[in-house]
Structure 1
């Protein structure tokens, strides 16, 4: 599995639903945001998960009327990927491999910033385990498992 992407959305406090979105080819965060908003069918909240084998993961959250919030476990590796521009990363600028972005991106879903940073850090768990921990805490573990 080179890359795994999943878009989940929900309206209000309702159930998470799997959605289809093409995340390749977006030149910037704004373009990705528009694709996520369209694919989420007007739901108030959408969370895009990107995972590259056991190298890095990213979370991009799009809430109604708010700017997109992005967290990346390894910005240098993600910047070098086809998804770098869509995540707002540039390989000539983002050379750090320490987690960066909005670590509070899923705090209201049960993963505080400190825990997300721990999961994403060198001493954390593997990429798939980190994504699974986020999914379980946020209440969409079964939906994500079905998408894999």
Structure 2
């Protein structure tokens, strides 16, 4: 079971709205959705959780690039919503369009159609390297520091209580509970 909500900062505090992520395919789509909920380029926080397994936060401030934190990359990778958050940059790998270009122009030194032996050796058996993510937290653990939640506190949150703790730190407990 998933829960997703937008917390948008306003002059009067935080406003919450639940959101459907069915049409969201990329992090850019999610950032656009968040910007639509913003007033005057204020901060919007996208909160996503899979009950008891992992949670993710995406902070969007105006037109700045979104900042992402995921509590468990490996668990999120097994989720369609988690995959939206796990960008190539966050995972520390080459973007897909550059990898495709490498294959087209044969920059890796292999013959056309010949598999890259090193990449095949590094990937766990039965799994492509690009289909994995490290277990544990990924991303910008400082994304809420200026709002009262330091990285150490974010790391200590359990998936069961994380969004409630984040809302409490922001002073948005009541508004988040209203959309649960």
Q: Is the structural similarity TM-score above 0.5?
A: yes
In 1, the alpha carbon distance for the partners of 2:8 and 2:144 equals 13
1:27 match: 25
Deviation at 1:92, TM superposition (A): 3.3
- Answering whether residue 63 of structure 2 is matched by residue 65 of structure 1, we say yes
Higher helix share: 2
Deviations 1:28-82 (A, max 9, x none): 2111111111133555110010010100000001001311001000111112211
- CA-based RMSD: 2.0
SS in 2 for 1:62: strand
- List alignment gaps of at least 5 residues for structure 1: 120-125
Q: Which of 27, 32, 54 is the equivalent residue of 1:56?
A: 54
In 2, the alpha carbon distance for the partners of 1:101 and 1:45 equals 18
1:9 match: 8
SS in 2 for 1:58: strand
In 2, the alpha carbon distance for the partners of 1:131 and 1:86 equals 18
**Number of residue pairs matched by the alignment:** 140
In 2, the alpha carbon distance for the partners of 1:84 and 1:25 equals 14
1:140 match: 172
Deviation at 1:136, TM superposition (A): 0.3
- The answer on whether the counterparts of 1:21 and 1:36 sit within 8 Å (CA) in structure 2 is no
Deviation at 1:103, TM superposition (A): 0.2
Deviations 1:77-118 (A, max 9, x none): 112211133213478344212111000111111110111112
Q: Using a 3 Å threshold, how does the CA distance of structure 1 residues 20 and 118 change in structure 2: closer, same or farther?
A: closer
- The answer on whether the counterparts of 2:41 and 2:63 sit within 8 Å (CA) in structure 1 is no
In 1, the alpha carbon distance for the partners of 2:136 and 2:83 equals 18
In 2, the alpha carbon distance for the partners of 1:144 and 1:20 equals 9
TM-score by length of 1: 0.84
Moved more, 84-93 or 16-25: 84-93
